[in-house]
Amino acid sequence: MIRPRDDVALMEGYHSPQLDVSVRLNTNEAPDAPPESFTAALADAVRDIEWNRYPDRAAGRLRAAIGVLHGVGPEQVFVANGSNEVLQTVLLTFGGPGRTAAVWEPTYALHSHIARLTGTGVVVGERGADFSTDLGEVERVVRDARPSVAFLCSPNNPTGVVDPPDTVRATLGMVEAVDGLLVVDEAYGQFAPWSAIDLLAEETPLVVSRTFSKTWSMAAARLGYLLGPSWVVAELDKVVLPYHLDAFKQMAGVLALEHVDDMNARVARLVEERGRLVARLSSLDVDVWPSGANFVLFRPRAIGGREVWQRLVDRSVLVRDCSSWPRLEGCLRVTIGTIDEDDSFLSALEEALR
């Protein structure tokens, strides 16, 4: 009987529990649907799709629209089925057997998971005690491992920490010195006070990945993109499967970008609600970390995190149990929801902590 590769057989998949609960705050989705005007426009556009024809292989309209949003040319934009496929394509192109990817824990688990799936070696460094990026540790890892690809997640998932510009510049300099590529994962970038997009340049080995899942309220669409030098994008285009992005998804992305004001207003509401949630959590018997994303990491002090997670589920509230992740024993992560959802979570948490 055929068996998987030995390294795959030993892996655990990446899973987020999907339970039947009243309040689901575990996967960092947007709490609100896109505007009705977007839905109506997309429904009308479906009638014009030539279903018997392959989609635009280059996704030209979508790349051009994303480029306009960020002030870059379409040749600097790569699009794929969610930012995870973006990261996978990066590692298939610049990683692989005999090459190494660097991560600093705790961080987004799929960076190292996808690296291993592509046969890329993984070297792990540590973040600081406050979960910020430790430049001394970055220097050690880059010097010793000379990674082909290095990942920074900012705002970092699951901690919410935002790397300041000087930290990203310094990391970029170290990675560039060993002929590596720095990937800044900004899945939550619109919630942060600044973006590494400001550092992009044609001769600089830096790319920034984004997603439509969070701020655009389009998690169901599975659409993501990358901004970077045109020479990086050209190499990614060689590796990705032909016609990988269907016509419906391309149309949805183009139409979403016509609703930038709605997206910005949604982000502003969530940032304000994040402040309210953090303030309430700070009054409870939990440790809370500051966040620049649409989620907050916290750790109950007197009761184990796993026990609190179960008590929340028993009250029909689902958050993310991060207690098995590196250095996050007892930690839980809650997505910013609607005011009503967050109030339900806070009431359930107060009961769970008793």
Q: Where in the chain is the domain with CATH 3.40.640.10?
A: 47-258
Query: Which CATH code fits 47-258?
Result: 3.40.640.10
- CA 96 – CA 94 distance, rounded (Å): 7
- CA 107 – CA 87 distance, rounded (Å): 14
Q: Where in the chain is the domain with CATH 3.90.1150.10?
A: 6-34+261-352
Give the pLDDT confidence of 101-153 residue by residue, as tens digits.
Answer: 999 999 999 999 999 999 999 999 999 999 999 999 999 999 999 999 999 99
- pTM (2 d.p.): 0.94
Closest CA to 259 of 93, 21, 32, 75: 32
- CA 221 – CA 215 distance, rounded (Å): 13
Give the pLDDT confidence of 243-253 residue by residue, as tens digits.
Answer: 999 999 999 99
Q: Residue 10: which pLDDT band, with cuts at 50, 70 and 90?
A: very low
Architecture of domain 6-34+261-352: Alpha-Beta Complex (3.90)
